[in-house]
Structure 1
């Protein structure tokens, strides 16, 4: 009886100390509405002045389609490369001890703190034809700046922390007993990694890929300098939106932004479905 009374008293005290569902849900909905739903609603409201014919003309314009192709292809390529490199970096930071590890760990977050425009200028200065690295690659016939390769490089720079910081905590909490048991039973390192470790890391790795991909689609500051902004070749969708706004073509800018939003939402929906399937499979 005493144990039951203490448990009941503890439950009552917890209910008094922590806010109830109604308050927390209300604040969550208010925050979500102010930060996410209202801006998206404004975008949809501004698009109501567009007729379907006007929207279709803007959406199927060759320049618009080319900007979507550049944005989506470079963002996907950068996110895939970041997924591989981010997994390697997280593995090194968690599984090994070496001098300067804390400094190395802190440098991972540098793209979060560094203004994207500064990153774009720095990358352009390095990889242009007269840059430190670009001047060495130019004789080999490899151009980075003002090409889709340069855009991918810039998106890799701003996307790598998302993968590392998503995979690293899961890798730190991963139980190594199963790895030791697999080694005891004769499994090699590669088989242990593929059969034991990778199923646990796949959901967070997919999450990091989704975050890096979503950030890459809408990235502007770090890409606008290194891309060269050549229509039909290196012009990204966010830059096209800014160009239409500068020309006071608000309807065209809204149409491009709305279509980009729909494409991003569908892709993130597919990635979230894969995450749900991966979590169920790992369990």
Structure 2
């Protein structure tokens, strides 16, 4: 008969109860309230709201730009994490602080700064306009804003994992004749892949729900650059609480499904 081994410090029941209570008050009860409010709608009314062309356009824009920004940071963030972990150089602490800046900077301030930079009369926006490229008030501008906000999630997730990879293993592989690409492919990537997926998931989830840094640079044109969080705010301003709740439920279900699939993939990779 299997028995659960007792930990050195007891208190599993109390700590588990506190965890479930805290999680319920902050997450489960508010989300359940949203589903209860949405349940007041008939299925026909609910489907009419979420299948509206404006909602579908905002849904596609929000998830596509969040995915693109997460993919960009998945590679750029991995490179930054590698440099910060493996190399000592002048200005390293400054770069560390710059990476954490999106955490401390209010998202509205970030949005204003990015808009001023990428607008047609801005420093970078003007140079881009000279070659026929428009950044602000386009999906490209939204993607760049989301990449700015979500960068720390990837870097801070990968740094501890890369720091725990012993350099002796890489040196031993090199002594045995392994080439740098082989070392990266067979030693570095398998060790960092679960953390990489976690950082990608966090960046993607944050990008889907981001509001403050996007509304300024998006231009908020319906069917073109309007994101789902902004559409929810529009519904609330119009006192259309049922419409806002229906869109929120749609956003929650799609986000949860995608994150669940990513977590299942991560588990499968860890087991193999």
TM-score range, shorter chain: over 0.9
Tell me, which stretches of 5 or more residues in structure 1 are unaligned?
A: 1-10
* Aligned equivalent of 1:114: 105
State the alpha-carbon separation in 2 of the partners of residues 129 and 270 from structure 1: 39
State the alpha-carbon separation in 2 of the partners of residues 92 and 38 from structure 1: 42
**Corresponding residue pairs, total:** 268
1:231 maps to 2:246 = no
Note the alpha carbon deviations across 1:10-69, whole angstroms, 9 max, x for none: x99x85xx3510111011001100111011011011112111000010111000000000
1:257 maps to 2:245 = no
Of the three residues 240, 243, 268, the one matched with 2:231 is 240
Note the alpha carbon deviations across 1:115-168, whole angstroms, 9 max, x for none: 000000000000000001101110101110000000000000010000000000
1:215 maps to 2:194 = no
Give 1 or 2 for the bigger CA radius of gyration: 1
* Aligned equivalent of 1:127: 118
1:161 maps to 2:158 = no
State the alpha-carbon separation in 1 of the partners of residues 146 and 271 from structure 2: 31
> What root-mean-square deviation, in Å, do the aligned CA atoms of Structure 1 and Structure 2 show?
1.2
State the alpha-carbon separation in 2 of the partners of residues 232 and 166 from structure 1: 35
User: What SS class does the counterpart of residue 40 from structure 1 fall into?
Assistant: helix
- What stretches of structure 1 move > 2 A for 4+ residues in a row? none
* Matching of residues 147-186 of structure 1 within 5 Å: 147-186=138-177
Give the TM-score normalised by the residue count of structure 2: 0.96
User: What SS class does the counterpart of residue 225 from structure 1 fall into?
Assistant: helix
The structural deviation recorded for 1:177 is 2.1
User: What SS class does the counterpart of residue 203 from structure 2 fall into?
Assistant: helix
* Aligned equivalent of 1:3: none
* Aligned equivalent of 2:37: 46
Give the TM-score normalised by the residue count of structure 1: 0.93
Of the three residues 47, 63, 69, the one matched with 2:54 is 63
Of the three residues 63, 67, 72, the one matched with 2:63 is 72
Tell me, which stretches of 5 or more residues in structure 2 are unaligned?
A: none
